[in-house]
Chain A
Amino acid sequence: MGNPDGDVVRALDGHRFKTMISAALAWLRQYQEEVNALNVFPVPDGDTGTNMTLTMNSAWEEIAPLDESHMGRLTLKLAHGALMGARGNSGVILSQIWRGLAHGVDGDATLTADTLARAMRAASDTAYKGVVKPVEGTILTVVRELADEAEDVAAETDDLIVVFDRLVRRGKLSVARTPSLLPVLRQAGVVDSGGQGLYRIFEGMLRDLRGLSTTSSDEAAQSDRTERDLGMDAETHDALEFDSRYPYDVQFMIVGQDLDVERLRDGITNMGDSALTVGDESAVKVHVHVADPGKPISLGAEFGSVSDVVVEDMRVQYEAYSASRRQAGQGPSPVHLLVPEEAPAISVVVVCSGEGLSNVFRSLGATVIVEGGQTMNPSTAQILDAVGQTASDQVLILPNNKNVLMASEQAAEVSEKHVVVVPTRSIPQGVSALLALDQGSSLEDNAVAMIESAQEVLTAEVTWATRNVQINGLRVREGDAIGLLEDELIVDAQSLDEAVHWLLAESDLDSHELITLYYGDSISEAEAQELLEALTEAYPELEFELVAGGQPHYPYIISIE
């Protein structure tokens, strides 16, 4: 089979593969926001693109300083870096793919088409093994089909450019097929985010093999439309060099006729930094960092109809990101260490975000708090480091989020201490679990008692929809207040308070007595107090508790006991 580029590459050594990884990272970064946008629920959760990019970045940092021509040794290092930086479930699976690939290379000095076929099969097998209940229509399906393709094409050619080209084509098809395999994707009208991220990684490697740029957004602009224009390179840059004068990250679309893009761009650029104004006379995408998020939106409204508004407080992101940087040994540790007078038999590492929630967990006996949660999932290395900071040989981890579970389990596996993960899925579950901690019992008995205790509480959460979606018979519009009960989106409302009322109305309150409202960083105490009074009046037989959680993204997290 011929290669349209003319050149033939029959073997890759460590140096060559290293530049391909660098290219894959740069390319994935371009598409970080595209992947983030592929979220099943319209909630600020998960951030697969961010998680995969940070995982790849950690893998890259591990090999960047190396002068390693030996393919086998390089891939082992790569896998180690990915594992240490693995964030979120997608990042953990990605790290398993690299680990499997490294084992598949099996010490070969170079990578040939045959080696790649063997390595991709090992990557797929390892990824499947890393998941308790593998689900098709996810990144697992994509990696397995890539392994199939690698075997097929290796039988036909030894030209690696052809092999990678075929892998990228197959990857794209495989991703496109995910909604037909996984109903929840079909319902939400998206493809699988992890699969898409993996596809972009292979695409980046192929581009590098062909000598194409992976850092220019012009290149990307030709192959895709709007999402990539969010310029996620800028975001990574922001995270590294965050300017406190412009704490708000604002993004929106303007739709209209004869839009004066130049004039709009000038106006936007003068407001802050990292400005990006792209589009044509009919539609423009704006991304800028400003002190006052209202200003660019008002300006945009003068030009046309503003939609898809996303405003984020980067101080929160920055804290978590710089924490991960410091974690790599570049500064003081980001985790809060509460030095106990004497080492307890069992220490507890808790993942949560928000000063108030951290204080709650500390008051209940958490030893080390790892910042993170709904967004900004902490890495395996961060959790591992927190485990290392505890003075005990026995450690329990409360991930408090399903997206932090796998990284926690990885940390538990890698740690030299005796570590058990209590698979809590929410803040209320974490609180309830921690109450059951008994220093006199074994780690395993504690884990059993704690998960039992966690299951005695119901979790309700209120946030804003991040996009339009039709789900569970609800027609959710971006910006609506939405309510989740036990992770299920069941309420769509006009206001947060209304969402809370509906959630409680939908809960079986007869068998419960205590409702705790943890209000987030976007809610003032007076607003929370007002809601509390209304609830107390509506449910005189229940006891209510109001706690300043300070968590981002979720104005209310509600524990129903």
Chain B
Amino acid sequence: MVQRIRVLTDSVADVPRDLLQRYQIRVLPVYLMLDGQTYLDDGGLEPDWFYQELARVQVPPTTAAPSPKEYVGAYEALAAEGAEEIIVLCAASTVSSLYDHAVLASQEFDGARVHVVDTLQVTMGMGWMVVEAAHLVAAGRPIAEVLSSLHAMRARTRVYGVLDSVDYLRRSGRVGWAASSVADLLQIRPVIAFEQGEAKLQGRVRLSRRGVRALVKLVGAVQPVSHVAILHSGVDDQLLDEFQTAIGALVPDLETPIISVGGIFATHVGPRCLGVALVRTASI
């Protein structure tokens, strides 16, 4: 069946593969340069292998957004499949140039109507918005309603995480306070909230268990929520279980999928991070 409205996102979104397939969501891969090799983050990187590489390599990997030309190519492909409207959900414009490229490309393309949305989110934070967009489209909602829903949802979406260290975030240069922070002399795990395009330091802990406690407290403080996903970049199974159990106790009626974050997001936060992407319930 030909879909008149299609959803396109980038590989920062970390949407689980089964959902991508169910809703025919198209993902434009971001480039990843690791140890002299360039990869396209198209789902072919095995997460656990990548997290180990991330910890191992001397020169940290870098990422690069696909060019506007590649966005045009993606629009053309969707139009060729029969799309008349394309909703493009991009990683937060505050930390990436993906949104700019997508907008530039939309001005160069007239094969379909393109609506570019700055999600102001990352990883499954934007992923939940992608899924919701696809869900509304599949339910036959008109494009204006889908876009306004996304706009409202954006303000209710957050990612909380405990990083193993601030080093990767500092090197990425994408978050001002982290980039200008002094190198840690002790093992410090920053607790971070990503909301409306901004990464804020919520606290600092020394132990991973205290990190779990801090996250559970943060999630507990934003109830009720409609979507929760557990995110990690390679933490041990026991800790992950503990975390899922604690989060599950807060939201007994929700599924809490565990997502291994993709190479692009992991490059900027580093290995051994634990987090959660959630959407607060809309107030009626």
Which positions in A face B, CB cutoff 8 Å? 356, 359-360, 362-364, 431-432, 435-436, 438, 456, 513-514, 516, 543, 545, 547, 561
Contacts of A436 in B (CB 8 A): 203-204
- Of chain B, the residue at the smallest CB distance from A359 is B185
- Can you name the residue of chain B whose Cβ is closest to the Cβ of A432? B206
Please name 16 further chain A to chain B contacts, defined as beta carbons within 8 Å, in addition to the given A436-B204, A543-B187, sorted by A numbering.
A359-B185, A364-B186, A364-B188, A364-B204, A431-B186, A435-B205, A436-B203, A456-B210, A513-B207, A513-B208, A513-B209, A514-B187, A516-B186, A516-B187, A547-B186, A561-B207
Contacts of A516 in B (CB 8 A): 186-187
**Which 3 A-B residue pairings sit nearest by Cβ, starting from the closest?**
A435-B204, A363-B182, A360-B185
List B contacts of A543 (CB < 8 A). Answer: 187
For residue B249, CB closer than 8 A to chain A, the reply is no
What bracket does the count of chain B residues touching chain A fall in? Answer: 10 to 19
Q: How many whole Å from A62's CB to the nearest CB in chain B?
A: 40
- What CA separation (Å) do A547 and B204 show in the bound complex? 18
Pull 28 A–B residue pairs with CB atoms less than 8 Å apart, ordered by A. Answer: A359-B185, A360-B185, A360-B186, A363-B182, A363-B183, A363-B184, A363-B185, A363-B186, A364-B186, A364-B204, A431-B186, A435-B206, A436-B203, A436-B204, A456-B210, A513-B207, A513-B208, A513-B209, A514-B187, A514-B206, A514-B207, A516-B186, A516-B187, A543-B187, A545-B186, A547-B185, A547-B186, A561-B206
| Shortest beta-carbon distance from B253 to chain A in Å | 31
Q: For residue B186, which residues in chain A have a CB less than 8 angstroms away from its CB?
A: 360, 363-364, 431, 516, 545, 547
Give the complex CA separation of A362 and B204 in angstroms.
15
The smallest beta-carbon distance between B195 and chain A, in angstroms, is: 14
Residues of A contacting B: mostly: mixed
- The complex places the Cα of A503 from the Cα of B208 at a distance, in Å, of 24
CB contact between B187 and one of A359, A438, A545 (< 8 Å): that residue? A545
Contacts of A513 in B (CB 8 A): 207-209
Chain A min CB distance to B37 (Å): 32
Specify which chain B residues have a CB less than 8 angstroms from the CB of A514 in the assembled complex: 187, 206-207
Docked Cα-Cα span, A139 to B70, in Å, equals 81
Residues of A within 8 A of B206 (CB): 432, 435, 514, 561
Q: Contacts of B209 on A, CB cut-off 8 Å? A: 513
- Measured between C-beta atoms, what is the minimum distance from A546 to chain B in Å? 11
CA distance A514 to B204 in the complex (A): 15
Question: A529: shortest Cβ distance to chain B, in Å?
Answer: 16
Interface residues of B (CB under 8 A from A): 182-188, 203-210
A360 to B186, CA, bound (A): 7
The smallest beta-carbon distance between B199 and chain A, in angstroms, is 15
B residues less than 8 Å from A547 (CB atoms): 185-186
Q: How far is the CB of A425 from chain B (nearest CB, A)?
A: 18
Q: Which residues of A contact B203 (CB under 8 A)?
A: 435-436, 438
Cα of A356 to Cα of B186 in the assembled complex, Å: 11
- Of all chain A residues, which has the CB nearest B189? A435
Residue of A nearest to B210 (CB): A456
Give the Cβ gap from A345 to chain B, nearest Cβ, in Å. 14
Q: Roughly how many angstroms separate A320 CA and B205 CA in the complex, as a whole number?
A: 32
What is the CA–CA distance of A513 and B205 in the complex, to the nearest angstrom?
A: 13
Within 8 Å CB of B182, what residues of A? 362-363
CA–CA, A359 and B184, complex, Å: 10
Quick one: which of A363, A431, A432, A456 has the most chain B CB within 10 A?
Answer: A363
- Distance in angstroms from A200 CB to nearest chain B CB is 43
The distance from the CB of B221 to the nearest CB of chain A, in whole angstroms, is: 13
Q: Give, as a whole number of angstroms, the nearest-CB distance from A3 to chain B.
A: 65
Give A514 to B203 CA distance when docked, in angstroms: 18
How far does the alpha carbon of A512 sit from the alpha carbon of B187 in the complex, in Å? 15
A435 to B201, CA, bound (A): 12
Distance A356 CA – B185 CA, assembled complex (angstroms): 9
Residue of B nearest to A434 (CB): B204
Q: Which residue of B lies closest to A543 (CB)?
A: B187
Q: What is the minimal beta-carbon distance from B254 to any residue of chain A, in angstroms?
A: 29
B188 / chain A contacts, CB cutoff of 8 Å:
364, 435
Q: Can you name the residue of chain A whose Cβ is closest to the Cβ of B180?
A: A341
> Which residue on chain A has the smallest CB distance to residue B181?
A363
Q: Which residues of A contact B183 (CB under 8 A)?
A: 363
Contacts of A364 in B (CB 8 A): 186, 188, 204
What is the minimal beta-carbon distance from B113 to any residue of chain A, in angstroms? 43
With A and B bound together, what is the CA distance between A218 and B186 in angstroms? 54
Q: Which of B186, B188, B204, B210 has the most chain A CB within a 10 Å cutoff?
A: B186
In whole Å, how far is B208's beta carbon from the nearest beta carbon of chain A? 8
* Distance of A362 Cα from B207 Cα, bound (Å): 20
How many Å from the CB of B188 to the closest CB on chain A?
7
- Residue in chain B with minimal CB distance to A357: B185
Q: Which residues of the partner chain B approach A359 to less than 8 Å between Cβ atoms?
A: 185
Question: Taking CB as reference atom, which chain A residue is nearest B200?
Answer: A440
Complex Cα distance A456/B157, Å? 32
Nearest CB in chain B to that of A341: its residue = B180
| Residues of chain A within 8 A of B210, CB atoms compared | 456
Q: How far is the CB of A72 from chain B (nearest CB, A)?
A: 52
Shortest CB distance B215–A (Å): 16
A447 to B: closest C-beta gap in Å: 16
Tell me the complex Cα distance, A45–B206, Å. 29
The answer for the CA separation of A438 and B204 in the assembled complex, in Å, is 10
* Among B204, B206, B207, B208, residue most surrounded by chain A Cβ atoms (within 10 Å): B206
Residue of B nearest to A436 (CB): B203
Distance to closest chain A CB from B170 (angstroms):
12
